Amino acid sequence: MTIDTSRAAQRYDAVRRKGRAGSRASLPAGPDELRKAPLFADVDEATLSRLSADARIESLQDGDTLFHQGAGVTDVSFVMSGYVKLMRMAPSGRQTLIGIRSDGEMIGEAPAGGDEIHAVSAEAVGAAKALKLPAPRFARQIKESPSLCAAVLRDSKERIARLVGEIESLKSQNADQRLAHFLLALCPPDEDRCRFRLPYDKRLIAARLGVKQETLSRAFAKLRVHGVRTETRNVHVESVAHLAEQCGRPGARARLAFQAS
Amino acid sequence: MTIDTSRAAQRYDAVRRKGRAGSRASLPAGPDELRKAPLFADVDEATLSRLSADARIESLQDGDTLFHQGAGVTDVSFVMSGYVKLMRMAPSGRQTLIGIRSDGEMIGEAPAGGDEIHAVSAEAVGAAKALKLPAPRFARQIKESPSLCAAVLRDSKERIARLVGEIESLKSQNADQRLAHFLLALCPPDEDRCRFRLPYDKRLIAARLGVKQETLSRAFAKLRVHGVRTETRNVHVESVAHLAEQCGRPGARARLAFQAS
DNA sequence: CGCCGACTTGAGCAATCTCAATCATGGTGG
DNA sequence: CCACCATGATTGAGATTGCTCAAGTCGGCG
């Protein structure tokens, strides 16, 4: 369920972090970069250029931390390339993956003014670039620009919908069904037979689905019977329709897996 | 995990609904009622009185539906008394509890204009009263009143934080720990030994925690060893501090439960 | 070649679910 | 007052799911 147990996680992090440079490249950014974030798609130009005044782009390496849970919110960040994972740290040291951001998505919550604190920690998964805006400036613009405010409102709703979906699947589906759902979302549209690449490694996918790596591996094995083949990161789906059928049935899979073995 | 399986749920609903009147009382409401909702705590009087123009209060009986998932959003609703449960219905008919609202909380999401659709279904748990405002009017006021907009923004953030917490606990805690957390939140502050009443029946608590009723019952049984006694709906906690310790440990409980049996 | 990291596989165990029986409670009709 | 029923809660037994620990595979890379 969690990414790792406390002691194991510490070891794991120690390994990943070895030999990484401490300094980060940071470049200024303009309104054009901001516009790439869907959040800003409908925000007026004037607001955007005000927002971008102190914007900068940071380059991150695998494992770099953007911010820690509990720390004060100084910036609003957006993923410009790569992936960023959001995690909750329990007092015990246990880490739980909350979500993964990519492609212009906002990392964390939009600051609305006042003293705010990060509810999660954010860390780069592989090399990534992040766009950062100072939080106070963003909070001021939210109050002054109706289009920005509307955009943030809409974005919050999408976020909530996603989280609700997440809770539903954690409560009502088993690991196999969650994996089927996950893969289904990755299949390109309009093709029944398809092939694609997993966006990140299986360890992370497992954490995203809320299971252990071993369990994920076995779930993949069960899907083989249903025409889903994997070679490391590449996935081959014989029939998307057939895969979709696997999303809502607990019993059928066991029977078929038995026949195949 | 889910509230009930498809067929069982249908039977269950058929039973609960028997002999209930179809009509609902509906009374007009004013700004004073609105002010009771925390969302409106800091909203200016003018906005509030505009919002309350078409406000009305509906009386609901156990099992009454406020709205269905997938239906268009025509109103914004608030719980004035009692409890309302939010559920997701899978195409299979499976129902998953998403949350429970009470005490002036908003039910569903704030409409921001445009055609919107309910992401969940809402149903009264026991007798309840709901305050309803027409969605279009609310959406208009959001655009025109900065204080309302700020309030909705703040509320969305709280909602997201709650959902994130929910996901964390589903992913990282077992049933016993989730129950301990749940009870801890119900304990009145500043007392180590306390006594209180469960807000709703154990069937609902189980759904809230994402386990079956039987599992919840066994979790309560395990907590008895730790000074938590229950008589139907009444709970005695010998030591809140001791209960809090149970929130973060998987192993210890099993040993003690074994000794006790 | 040999190691490392990511992944897979196996075996046993723990948590949870399922099905079924039982019990307590409150209401209802006789 | 009692028999009876419906509902919610508890308990038991067995199946299932997912976890843990451990070993093994595989591909790249120095």
Supply the CATH number for residue B68's domain.
2.60.120.10
Domain boundary among the residues A137, A159, A181 is at A159
Q: Do A157 and B156 touch (CB under 8 A)?
A: yes
Counted domains in chain A = 2
- The pTM of this model reads 0.88
The CA–CA distances, whole Å, from B114 to A38, A43, B72, B139, B154 equal 18, 17, 11, 9, 21
Domain boundary among the residues B130, B159, B188 is at B159
Domain boundary among the residues B125, B159, B193 is at B159
Count of CB contacts below 8 A, A vs B? 107
| Three-state DSSP class for residue A82 | strand
Given this model, what pLDDT does residue B23 score? 57
Given this model, what pLDDT does residue B70 score? 96
For residue range A151-198, list pLDDT tens digits in order.
Answer: 999 999 999 999 999 999 999 999 999 999 999 999 999 899 999 999
Same domain, B178 and B78: no
What is the nearest CA distance from A196 to chain B, expressed in angstroms?
A: 27
Same domain, B233 and B195: yes
**With b meaning 16 or more CB within 10 Å and e meaning fewer, what string describes A174-192?**
ebbbbbbbbbeeebeeeee
Q: Do A143 and B159 touch (CB under 8 A)?
A: no
Same domain, B101 and B192: no
Q: Do B172 and A143 touch (CB under 8 A)?
A: no
B175 CA to C15 C1', in Å? 9
Same domain, A135 and A179: no
Same domain, A24 and A142: yes
* Environment class of B67 (CB within 10 Å of its CB; exposed 0-12, middle 13-18, buried 19+): buried
Same domain, A93 and A217: no
What is the nearest CA distance from A67 to chain B, expressed in angstroms?
A: 17
Looking at the domain assignment, is residue A164 inside a domain? no
CB < 8 Å & 24+ apart, contacts of B99-105: B99/B162, B99/B208, B100/B125, B100/B200, B100/B204, B100/B208, B102/B199, B103/B79, B104/B36, B104/B37, B104/B38, B104/B39, B104/B78, B104/B79, B104/B80, B105/B37, B105/B38, B105/B78, B105/B79
What is the nearest CA distance from A150 to chain B, expressed in angstroms?
A: 8
Looking at the domain assignment, is residue B190 inside a domain? yes
* Environment class of A261 (CB within 10 Å of its CB; exposed 0-12, middle 13-18, buried 19+): exposed
User: With bands split at pLDDT 50, 70 and 90, how would you rate the model's confidence at A42?
Assistant: very high
Torsion of CA B103, B106, B107, B111, to 10 degrees: 170
Give the domain extent around B206.
Answer: 173-246
Looking at the domain assignment, is residue A261 inside a domain? no
Same domain, B64 and B93: yes
D27: residue with closest CA to C1':
A232
The residue of A144, A157, A246 whose CB has the most chain B CBs within 10 angstroms, and thus the best one to mutate to test that interface, is A157
Question: At a CB cut-off of 8 Å and minimum separation 6, what does B209 contact?
Answer: B175, B178, B179, B182, B216
Given this model, what pLDDT does residue B46 score? 95
Looking at the domain assignment, is residue A251 inside a domain? no
Same domain, A17 and A124: yes
In this prediction, residues A145-149 reach a mean pLDDT of: 94
> Cα(A80)–Cα(B51) distance, rounded to whole angstroms?
40
* Nearest nucleotide (C1') to alpha carbon of A230: C7
Closest Cβ–Cβ partner in B88, B142, B164 for A88? B164
Structure tokens at B199: 């807000």
Q: Strand D: which of residues 230-259 in chain A lie with Cβ below 7 A? A: 232, 250-251, 254
For residue range B155-204, list pLDDT tens digits in order.
Answer: 999 999 999 999 999 999 999 999 999 999 999 998 999 999 999 999 99
